[in-house]
Amino acid sequence: MMNISPLQKERLQYNPKLPGMLRNGISEICVKEGKETESVADQAKIKELFPNTYGKREITFEKGQNTSLAKKQVVGVILSGGQAPGGHNVVCGLYDALKATNKENVLYGFKGGPSGLLEDDYLIFDDEYIDQFRNTGGFDIIGSGRTKLETREQFAVAAEVCKKHGITAIVIIGGDDSNTNAAVLAEYFAAHETGVQVIGCPKTIDGDLKNEDIECSFGFDTATKTYSELIGNIERDANSAKKYWHFIKVMGRSASHVALECALQTQPNICLIGEEVAEKKMSLSAIADYITDAVAERGNNGMNFGVAIIPEGIVEFVPEFSVLIAEINELLAGEKAEEFNSLSTWKERYAFIEKGLTRQSMDVFAILPESIQQQLFMERDPHGNVQVSLIESEKLFSALVKAKLAERKKAGTYKGKFSALHHFFGYEGRCAFPSNFDADYCYSLGYNAFMLIQYGYNGYLSQISNLSKPAEEWVAGGMPITKMMNIERRHGEDKPVIRKALVELDGNPFKYFAAHREKWAVETCYTYPGAIQYYGPSDVCDQTTRTLALEKGE
Ligand code: FBP
């Protein structure tokens, strides 16, 4: 047994709550088939690409006689992509349902993400091993990875590995890309009559894998509660010392759901939303003006402190910045990178950049702080592209605001003081002990995934809905992954993919935020959520996110 803390010891004993319909024992779970499905868009094209798995019916489970075939199941599970709190419980739920159905059933865990399947690197779960991970954060139970399972060669290897172990189903726990690949793998397995089923589970702290059927991805609840605790603590510090502006970047590679949820929980002075920036085509300067207005008004009223939340993906939503990034990628493509790297001083490099960028992009580049300018040319991915997620946008915006305040000071319209501190909250939340919500939700997703396998479904996403209600009222079922797909242009090719869910500007969560933010900007309306509570009254321990509650009209 590994070293464990008192909380972990307690959490190992926690009994995750299942939806009412899954509580009566395996022998009393039956299936109700619903309507045939269609993809969200591009129906003809998706149907053509998925002849064996397209158009299947939605299903829900109910209390009733279990009519599934009695056959020995050998299941493989994979954790894919970034860590998200609750992943261990998906595996635990899957294991428990599998063993409750038949003690002879076997669960393989492929190690280190999808590459584990390709390399046949695995462990076989038993009670002793799995019991150490119940209700804990992290993905260390088998590890995770970002290898994409997408080529036919890889699928052929996967089929071989499954055949070797007699595997009857693979469960892929991942985000939109991993579940897109799960659907393609399911189609391949069906077309090649391998007899292997594929089931997906919706994971990502980013919260961007959701739609009318999948109410949220797991991990979002715990991660946003963890960041909100930290932001609330910082707000209280700011309000006590009254001398700093805190610029806080929060994770979320693309969509701003995490930032928005944290804002709903903590009521900061500023929260940027990438999707709104794109919709209004805001420039960097316009965004900086927007923040500066709040800083200046507060400063002029004697409040030289505040909190601004910046979503990680923000710069990609600024139209002029996206153009700049594209030009930089082009500027350093192929041999030109060598020429650039051979220049030894920043001055020489700057001259090279000035010659290579268009006038418009150079104007944007010129207003960036030098540290950010250099970052754009240093941190590059293996394909030579700028790694946008590494850009320290919290420092970028505070530097732009500082420059604008200096101008206003000169013009006599600002008389405050501005001192900024910077934070980035991301990795702090991805492996937290799952909240009760995520512990219950994840366990249910895993348990339910096994029921989908047992009833023979292929290319389905494990679906638990009615999530803003107590677990007793949750609804368990499955949805064909192809229902969530459309065709998008990726790397110059048309590809069938799950549509990423961005923040909807006409949705309730954003509308609530937009209705309150002016007041939050100039007054001090902070709320302090405190740490996640695992034990105590239900209204403290079992609350879902504000996003989910508002989406449900609650
Ligand atoms: P997933 O989409 O794989 O769940 O990962 C999301 C995320 O946590 C983003 O919020 C973040 O930008 C990214 O992963 C960081 O990735 P890495 O762990 O590879 O640094």
Residues 382 and 295 in one domain: no
Band (337; pLDDT cuts 50, 70, 90)? confident
pLDDT exceeding 70 applies to what percent of the chain?
99
Per DSSP, what are the bridge partners of residue 32? 60
Whether 22 contacts 94, CB under 8 Å: no
Q: Is residue 215 part of a domain?
A: yes
Residues 237 and 381 in one domain: no
Q: Judge whether 206 counts as a catalytic residue.
A: yes
Look up the domain containing 190 and give its range.
34-219+434-490
Of 460, 490, 520, which one is at a domain's C-terminal end?
A: 490
Over range 90-119, report the average pLDDT.
97
Task: Using the predicted structure, report yes or no on whether residue 128 has a pLDDT greater than 60.
Answer: yes
Residues 295 and 235 in one domain: yes
Task: Report the pLDDT value the prediction gives residue 493, as an integer from 0 to 100.
Answer: 81
Task: Report the pLDDT value the prediction gives residue 334, as an integer from 0 to 100.
Answer: 75
Q: Is residue 2 part of a domain?
A: no
Residues 62 and 134 in one domain: yes
Residues 163 and 302 in one domain: no
Band (218; pLDDT cuts 50, 70, 90)? very high
Question: In whole angstroms, how far apart are CA 485 and each of 23, 211, 482, 499?
Answer: 32, 11, 5, 6
Gap from CA of 104 to ligand 1 centroid (Å): 36
Task: Using the predicted structure, report yes or no on whether residue 385 has a pLDDT greater than 80.
Answer: no
Task: Using the predicted structure, report yes or no on whether residue 522 has a pLDDT greater than 80.
Answer: yes
Band (14; pLDDT cuts 50, 70, 90)? very high
Question: In whole angstroms, how far apart are CA 90 and each of 98, 116, 395?
Answer: 12, 18, 37
Closest residue by CA, ligand 1 atom 14: 82
Q: Is residue 176 part of a domain?
A: yes
Closest residue by CA, ligand 1 atom 17: 82
Task: Report the pLDDT value the prediction gives residue 332, as an integer from 0 to 100.
Answer: 85
For residue 329, the domain's CATH number is 1.10.10.480
Task: Report the pLDDT value the prediction gives residue 3, as an integer from 0 to 100.
Answer: 81
Task: Report the pLDDT value the prediction gives residue 69, as an integer from 0 to 100.
Answer: 86
Gap from CA of 79 to ligand 1 centroid (Å): 13
Task: Report the pLDDT value the prediction gives residue 329, as an integer from 0 to 100.
Answer: 87
Whether the CB of 219 sits within 6 Å of ligand 1: no
Of 328, 358, 389, which one is at a domain's C-terminal end?
A: 389
Task: Using the predicted structure, report yes or no on whether residue 480 has a pLDDT greater than 90.
Answer: yes
Q: Is residue 408 part of a domain?
A: yes
Closest residue by CA, ligand 1 atom 18: 82
Task: Report the pLDDT value the prediction gives residue 259, as an integer from 0 to 100.
Answer: 98
Gap from CA of 372 to ligand 1 centroid (Å): 21
Residues 331 and 361 in one domain: yes
Q: Which amino acid is at 517?
A: R
Instruction: Determine whether 132 is exposed, middle or buried from the number of CB atoms within 10 Å of its CB (0-12, 13-18, 19+).
Output: middle
Q: Is residue 16 part of a domain?
A: no
Residues 160 and 274 in one domain: no
Over range 185-206, report the average pLDDT.
97
Whether the CB of 111 sits within 6 Å of ligand 1: no
Gap from CA of 81 to ligand 1 centroid (Å): 7
Residues 74 and 205 in one domain: yes
Q: Which range has the worst mean pLDDT, 261-270, 325-334, 514-523?
A: 325-334
Gap from CA of 64 to ligand 1 centroid (Å): 40
H-assigned helices in 301-369: 314-317, 319-331, 336-342, 346-356, 359-366
Tokens for 345, please give them. 């001083």
Task: Report the pLDDT value the prediction gives residue 390, as an integer from 0 to 100.
Answer: 83
- How many whole angstroms separate alpha carbon 452 and alpha carbon 94? 11
pLDDT tens-digit map of 17-60: 999 999 988 999 999 999 999 999 999 999 999 999 999 999 99
Whether the CB of 299 sits within 6 Å of ligand 1: no
Q: Which range has the worst mean pLDDT, 182-196, 317-331, 400-414?
A: 317-331
Of 472, 490, 508, which one is at a domain's C-terminal end?
A: 490
Question: In whole angstroms, how far apart are CA 148 and each of 23, 75, 114, 152?
Answer: 35, 20, 7, 12
pLDDT tens-digit map of 278-291: 999 999 999 999 99
Residues 41 and 144 in one domain: yes
For residue 545, the domain's CATH number is 3.40.50.460
- The total number of structural domains in the chain stands at 3
Q: Rounded mean pLDDT of the chain?
A: 95
Q: Is residue 484 part of a domain?
A: yes
Over range 419-444, report the average pLDDT.
98
Residues 281 and 350 in one domain: no
Task: Report the pLDDT value the prediction gives residue 1, as an integer from 0 to 100.
Answer: 54
Task: Using the predicted structure, report yes or no on whether residue 379 has a pLDDT greater than 70.
Answer: no
Over range 170-196, report the average pLDDT.
97
Looking at per-residue confidence, does 517 or 213 come out higher?
Answer: 517
- How many whole angstroms separate alpha carbon 333 and alpha carbon 356? 12
Q: Is residue 9 part of a domain?
A: no
Whether the CB of 82 sits within 6 Å of ligand 1: yes
Residues 50 and 192 in one domain: yes
Whether 96 contacts 445, CB under 8 Å: no
DSSP assignments along 133-146, one per residue: TTT--SSTTT--B-
Tokens for 403, please give them. 């420059």
For residue 134, the domain's CATH number is 3.40.50.450
Task: Report the pLDDT value the prediction gives residue 378, as an integer from 0 to 100.
Answer: 78
Over range 218-234, report the average pLDDT.
98
Residues 257 and 347 in one domain: no
Looking at per-residue confidence, does 316 or 435 come out higher?
Answer: 435
Whether the CB of 19 sits within 6 Å of ligand 1: no
pLDDT tens-digit map of 234-271: 999 999 999 999 999 999 989 999 999 999 999 999 99
- How many whole angstroms separate alpha carbon 287 and alpha carbon 295? 13
Q: Which atom of ligand 1 is nearest to the CA of 176?
A: 2
Band (202; pLDDT cuts 50, 70, 90)? very high
Catalytic residue among 176, 177, 206, 208: 206
Q: Is residue 384 part of a domain?
A: yes
pLDDT tens-digit map of 288-297: 999 999 999 9
